[in-house]
A and B are shown apart, each in its own frame.
Chain A
Amino acid sequence: MSRLAAAFAKGHPALVTFVTGGDPTPAATGAILDALVEGGADVIELGMPFTDPMADGPAIQLANLRSLGAGTKTADIFRIASEFRVRHPHLPLVLMGYANPMITRGAEWFAAECAQAGVDGVICVDIPPEEDPELGPALRGAGVALIRLATPTTDTARLPAVLEGSSGFLYYVSVAGITGMQQAAQASIEQAVARLKAASDIPVAVGFGVRTPEQASAIAAHADGVVVGSALVDIVARHGADAPAHIRALTSALSQAVHESRKATA
């Protein structure tokens, strides 16, 4: 069983956590990732910084700027990933970011680097299924999962195209908008998750606008996973290199809420 599949087969919903790689510095990211693991995260998303994060709200935009301002290079991201893999052989690690840094040396190069660093999957914000040839074949060829996004505007007619060639999990973006802003209505999330799960066997994780253990618990009662990003990135913004202790505390509260959500509603 792959690391990603195992993360969604623990008998409870998965907590998926996002932080931007290289924020506040490349050297500080390792300890922040360790704090996520210690707090009970089941899947780690490591953001690749980009100058033009068009799908992100202010929190993650600023994280991208801090990271690039600290001199983070693509090589640093792969080094952070490789070192994480040595320390945590079993926890899935996913890279998330924008197309240009991923394809700039060629998709084959990027996919090979992912495989070598022990990266399990890739989420690319601005390569929709229509442009899959740009990145998808290279990742699949290297055994790296291409994790696609579905959104409130992804209608039933489009859904098969989104699912085709995607693996690992399906990331449901619960609001039509950018990261870290408002949360979707619980009822609309439940309907969407039911629709997605009826169309596919792969796990569905829900994100965008999820900040608190209470929100995460309510979603986890219905979804296979819950993604939290901006709330964690905000902690890095506030505490910088001292962030790990605070990250660990929020992650613990989130993971407990997510892991026990089915019991709470049972």
Chain B
Amino acid sequence: MTVAPPAQTANSFRNQPDERGHFGQFGGRYVAETLMPLILELEREYRRAKGDPAFQAEFDDLLEHYVGRPSPLYFAPRLTGELGGAQIWFKRDELNHTGAHKINNCIGQILLAIRMGKTRIIAETGAGQHGVATATVCARFGLPCVIFMGATDVARQAPNVFRMKLLGAEVVPVTAGAATLKDAMNEALRDWVANVHDTFYIIGTAAGPHPYPELVRDFQSVIGREAREQLLSRTGRLPDLLVAAIGGGSNAIGLFHPFLDDPGVKMLGVEAAGHGLDKEHAASLAGGRPGILHGNKTYLLQDEDGQILEGHSISAGLDYPGIGPEHAWLKETGRVEYTSVTDTEALAAFQLLCRTEGIIPALEPAHAIAALQKVAPTMDKDQIIIANLCGRGDKDIFSVAEHLGVTL
């Protein structure tokens, strides 16, 4: 049995996007003309970096010694017993430095920024996890950092705002629109267009104009490559199912991508159904349709005129009305199955993992755990599920307490 993923073939699910940055009808480069030359330069520089062993070596070294990779692959015996079906294993990306998978991508992108001679970093953030990870790598490399964050999110994520400031970042509250993640992304794009000469935009998820969906996926694919090697060396076999939560979809594509050409491995992406798919939610695949926003064509929550609707989820990290274009394509090809779970289900799953495994998950992977509760019992006891535990829950204890009616 080989450890490396199968070689890509003409029929591979792993050779996207095409040379124009399209995943089937999705993806692309829908940006203002001012940004196009920079986007094209980024693509050229990324191609060079991808083929440069020194770049890869520096990335690997930082992931090992700064981030703390490889993250463990952990068999969860009590959760498995409680659900009474397939074996559940967790990829423990919540143990990374800064407490989530976001740092993998930030390390890769800041190395690209430095290669391109950029001297100023900007980023958007919703819950603040990507903002903290970006502020962290900026401190590590001594670059000034500006984080755009919706004013609503600034108010409800005060600990992360303070973390970013401790790390030396400037946090700009965005009051436009609904003052959440989508508006923060608009404002970051406005800053970028005015500062293209010296500024690099570290996008936090596998979305935005090409080549961002591709490079974020590549940097996050360390999750799936490690998981594949770890499970093979521990059990001698591949998993039957992968499960991951999806907002923009970077942790999910990072886990899924190295397995896409293993036909025996099924995959399940879990969107946020919020109050329910017939009410306010953030499930772009389940409740949206294709459109163009923030540089790419993908599934969007929108009205009949193409006006973008606000997403809603208990998890600020899933609260976005779009999804990465590769997920849109994987849904249309049928290679990955997508489902959704509600705020209430995620909250119950959050508590279940605390109780059974002594792990406090973030509300984002709590959505994946809620999906496990439904699917694991339907599978045989000798089958294996790997779920991505993409973030830890320290940031969420205040909002969980509030939802449970507890005053801290």
Interface residues of A (CB under 8 A from B): 50-57, 61, 65, 68, 73-74, 98-104, 125-128, 130-131, 134, 148-155, 158, 162, 173, 175-178, 181
Contacts and interface: CB of A to CB of B under 8 A. Distances in A.
A247 B295 CA distance: 34
9 contacts: A55-B32, A55-B189, A55-B190, A65-B177, A100-B308, A104-B291, A125-B32, A128-B32, A153-B35
A68, A152, A176, A178 — most chain B CB neighbours (10 Å): A176
A162 B22 CA distance: 20
Chain A binding surface, main DSSP class: loop
B177 A51 contact: yes
9 A-B pairs with least C-beta separation: A104-B306, A177-B194, A101-B306, A100-B306, A99-B292, A151-B34, A51-B308, A54-B189, A74-B305
A149 B35 CA distance: 12
B35 to A, nearest CB: 8
Interface stretch (B23-31, B94-102, B110-118, B242-250): B23-31
B186 A173 contact: no
Interface residues of B, number: 36
B33 A103 contact: no
Interface string B191-216: 00110110000000000000000000
Interface of B: 20, 28-38, 176-177, 182-183, 186, 189-190, 193-194, 196-197, 291-295, 297, 300, 302, 304-308
A196 to B, nearest CB: 13
A181 B194 CA distance: 10
Given A128-B29, A128-B36, 4 more contacts: A54-B190, A101-B306, A103-B306, A131-B29
A152 B189 CA distance: 17
Nearest to B194: A177
B325 to A, nearest CB: 13
Contacts of B307: 50-51, 68, 100-101
B33 A99 contact: no
B29 A150 contact: no
Contacts of B176: 61
B305 A73 contact: yes
Contacts of B28: 130-131, 134
A104 B302 contact: yes
B273 to A, nearest CB: 22
B33 A148 contact: yes
A178 B33 CA distance: 12
B33 A151 contact: yes
B37 A153 contact: yes
Contacts, number: 115
Nearest to B304: A104
Contacts of A130: 20, 28-29, 36
A175 B32 CA distance: 13
Contacts of A65: 177
B292 A150 contact: no
A52 B182 contact: yes
Given A50-B307, A127-B30, A178 B293 contact: no
Contacts of A149: 32-33
A176 B193 contact: yes
A100 B292 contact: yes
A126 B294 CA distance: 9
Contacts of B308: 51-52, 100
Nearest to A62: B176
Contacts of A148: 33
Contacts of A152: 34
A73 B307 CA distance: 9
Contacts of B183: 52
B292 A153 contact: no
Contacts of B304: 104
A103 B182 contact: no
Nearest to B305: A74
Contacts of A101: 305-307
A101 B196 CA distance: 27
B34 A176 contact: yes
A153 B196 contact: yes
Contact of A128 (B31, B182, B305): B31
Contacts of A99: 30, 292
A154 B196 CA distance: 12
Nearest to B29: A130
A155 B305 CA distance: 35
A175 to B, nearest CB: 8
B306 A176 contact: no
A154 B305 CA distance: 31
A151 B38 CA distance: 12
A128 B193 contact: no
A114 B306 CA distance: 17
Contacts of B186: 52-54
A125 B304 CA distance: 20
A51 B303 CA distance: 11
A158 B302 contact: no
Nearest to A76: B305
A123 B183 CA distance: 23
Contacts of B306: 50, 74, 100-104
Nearest to A126: B30
A168 B322 CA distance: 34
B193 A55 contact: yes
B212 to A, nearest CB: 15
A158 B190 contact: no
A1 B178 CA distance: 46
Nearest to B292: A99
A153 B183 CA distance: 25
Contacts of A100: 291-293, 300, 302, 306-308
B37 A154 contact: yes
A55 B300 CA distance: 20
A162 B193 CA distance: 18
Contact of A153 (B33, B291, B297): B33
Nearest to A135: B292
Contacts of A127: 30, 292
Nearest to B188: A54
A173 B33 contact: yes
